[in-house]
A and B are shown apart, each in its own frame.
Chain A
Amino acid sequence: DAGVIQSPRHEVTEMGQEVTLRCKPISGHNSLFWYRQTMMRGLELLIYFNNNVPIDDSGMPEDRFSAKMPNASFSTLKIQPSEPRDSAVYFCASSQLAVTPQFFGPGTRLTVL
Chain B
Amino acid sequence: QKEVEQNSGPLSVPEGAIASLNCTYSDRGSQSFFWYRQYSGKSPELIMFIYSNGDKEDGRFTAQLNKASQYVSLLIRDSQPSDSATYLCAVKRDSNYQLIWGAGTKLIIKP
Contact = CB atoms under 8 A, between A and B. Distances in A.
A105 B103 CA distance: 19
A31 B96 CA distance: 12
Interface residues of A, number: 18
A105 B34 CA distance: 17
Contacts of B10: none
The residue in B44, B45, B96, B104 that gathers the most chain A C-beta atoms within 10 A of its C-beta is B44
B32 to A, nearest CB: 7
A113 B25 CA distance: 38
B100 to A, nearest CB: 9
A13 B88 CA distance: 30
Interface of B: 32, 34, 36, 42-46, 49, 88, 92, 95-99, 101, 103-104
Contacts, number: 39
28 contacts: A31-B97, A42-B101, A42-B103, A42-B104, A43-B44, A43-B88, A43-B101, A45-B98, A48-B97, A48-B98, A50-B97, A55-B97, A98-B96, A98-B97, A99-B32, A99-B92, A99-B95, A99-B96, A99-B97, A101-B34, A101-B46, A101-B49, A102-B99, A103-B46, A104-B43, A104-B44, A106-B43, A107-B42
Interface of chain A: mostly helix, strand, loop or mixed: strand
B103 A91 contact: no
A56 B32 contact: no
Contacts of A98: 96-97
A76 B96 CA distance: 24
Contacts of B88: 43
A4 to B, nearest CB: 8
Contact of A107 (B43, B46, B104): B43
A56 B101 contact: no
Given A42-B103, A45-B98, 16 more contacts: A43-B88, A45-B99, A48-B97, A50-B97, A56-B97, A91-B43, A91-B44, A99-B96, A99-B97, A101-B34, A101-B46, A101-B49, A102-B99, A104-B43, A106-B43, A107-B43
